[in-house]
Chains A and B, each alone.
Chain A
């Protein structure tokens, strides 16, 4: 297990505060957060490559029971793929991949076998003699991965490696990362601000905000049960409302909201969040769906978003955001000012308390 314990780092007015993370061996762990939340700085602290002006006032890093905190980067048994990939432009693809071999004690035959295995797995056979500027973005990314993986690291750190790729290459890279993870059994730590990417790749992760870890656990849980307004908004649960709690009932203005077992998270919630895709149009979608919360409202705005409609509905002074398939507009009268009936299940209401 990779354990980060009580980490505090200062860097030019920014601070990583009290970072505590446990990343299990073989896990694909994601560190999420908006730009400037400290994700990349945390990654640099893990590999031991902090900027010169960073001050690490406390904190320890362990792999299993061995402390890594004072070890130089190359002795930590980790590899990192930076956002810009950092391929050496004056070296061929093959020399890029072999760059680190002379600094690691690996058996010669093993090295060649691993080199050939990676070249095959990553489909680099045809480009070994080319220079990085002559290969595509996706190929560059695979070279950067091969260069790290050939050294048999225990942990591979990925600093937003997909952000520089076009969407088709991103999909391909995601599938490749997933395959590498399952085939090689290496621990991956991914830094990203893209929730879709993380949902596809990771089981577990943490969300960072202003240098702190604000929620960690199963990605699915973070997505469905955000524990703060920030996380709720970050993961795209557009409907975040302040609520009051009275005699076992959650009230949002004049609307009474049914929830499912909110006491598991907090006894007296003062916020709720509902994902926009969980709000359904009652007149057209399956009415047998358990929609314990049913309301009527007027459409205030409609936007097209990919193949969905983002619909803003005002009900009793509360603005709901719903994400409906495009064909809904064929089934119900959907235009600005139209009256619609909508609802959501009580199990889709996430109640939490925020100070």
Chain B
């Protein structure tokens, strides 16, 4: 009797999963299938579309690299150390996931307000937020960082602390232990964190539009074409954004998998 019950169980799971799969694939499938080949070709040959797609990619990858550089140490500290206020720091890191994204844009713009210390410092350094790449990358880092830190932290937590102890008992210092033992073992989660962070950054619209309508990122261009010319003109750009994102993430996941030992 057991196999019958088991197959009923699995069938039930499958039936309940169907609406979710439909919700995910149907709209995207329709969107990708909507434009003709000539419409897609025409869109990608437009300099404005090429520039916005490239801008989206470069700014999202920049945000991801900044997250890796500055987020990795924080993720390691959160995975390995207990300190007063740790929960508050973890809550703060998750905050960008919870708050509406235009609010993030407004908060980042607030940095450059002239009557604040940060604003005066930025002005003194000649850094502008509004309508600049700096502003866009700041916003994208802000929204993508939680995804990177949480994934990297899970990676570091999965490395037994005893391996670090062993490494140090064999003579390695903390830096060598980190680079020879901890990082190679947490590598996969770090790459996955980069994928998540890049994905979040490349799809960001709400915060970006507050900080920088121009230079125009692909999601802003899609929005502009939709409001100005309608669905038909925005679809080809949206499809290219989806295709490029899928290729990028597939490559990154492949890289993460190839780093795993067989």
Contact = CB atoms under 8 A, between A and B. Distances in A.
Given A82-B165, A82-B166, A100 B185 contact: no
Contact of B165 (A86, A102, A131, A148): A86
Contacts of B172: 74, 99-100, 103
Counting chain A CB atoms within 10 Å of each CB, which of B81, B171, B261 scores highest? B171
27 contacts: A47-B169, A49-B165, A49-B168, A49-B169, A74-B168, A74-B169, A78-B169, A82-B162, A82-B165, A82-B166, A84-B162, A86-B162, A88-B166, A88-B167, A88-B185, A90-B185, A90-B261, A99-B167, A99-B170, A99-B180, A102-B171, A103-B171, A103-B176, A104-B171, A147-B170, A148-B170, A151-B171
Contacts of A86: 160, 162-163, 165-166
B165 A79 contact: no
Interface string B75-103: 00000010000000000000000000000
A74 B166 contact: no
A325 interface: no
A100 B162 CA distance: 16
B184 interface: yes
A182 to B, nearest CB: 24
A26 interface: no
A100 B165 contact: no
Q: How large is the interface on B (under 10, 10 to 19, 20 to 34, 35 or more residues)?
A: 10 to 19
A89 interface: yes
Q: Which 7 A-B pairs have the closest CB atoms?
A: A103-B171, A100-B170, A86-B166, A74-B171, A100-B171, A90-B184, A73-B169
Counting chain A CB atoms within 10 Å of each CB, which of B169, B171, B172, B180 scores highest? B169
A131 B185 CA distance: 14
Contacts of A190: none
B161 to A, nearest CB: 10
Contacts of A82: 162, 165-166
A151 B172 CA distance: 13
Q: How large is the interface on A (under 10, 10 to 19, 20 to 34, 35 or more residues)?
A: 20 to 34
B181 interface: yes
Interface in B149-202: 160, 162-163, 165-172, 176, 180-181, 184-185
Contacts of B181: 88
A83 to B, nearest CB: 9
A88 B169 CA distance: 13
Contacts of B167: 88, 99
B170 A74 contact: yes
Nearest to A81: B166
Nearest to B80: A52
B56 to A, nearest CB: 35
A117 B199 CA distance: 53
Contacts of A84: 160, 162
A80 interface: yes
Contacts of A147: 170
Contacts of B185: 88-90
Contacts of A102: 171
B160 A73 contact: no
A32 B116 CA distance: 64
Contacts of A74: 168-172
A82 B162 CA distance: 8
A274 B171 CA distance: 48
Nearest to A150: B170
Interface in B219-262: 261
Given A88-B181, A90-B184, A131-B261, A79 B170 contact: yes
B79 to A, nearest CB: 14
Interface string A265-305: 00000000000000000000000000000000000000000
A151 B184 CA distance: 24
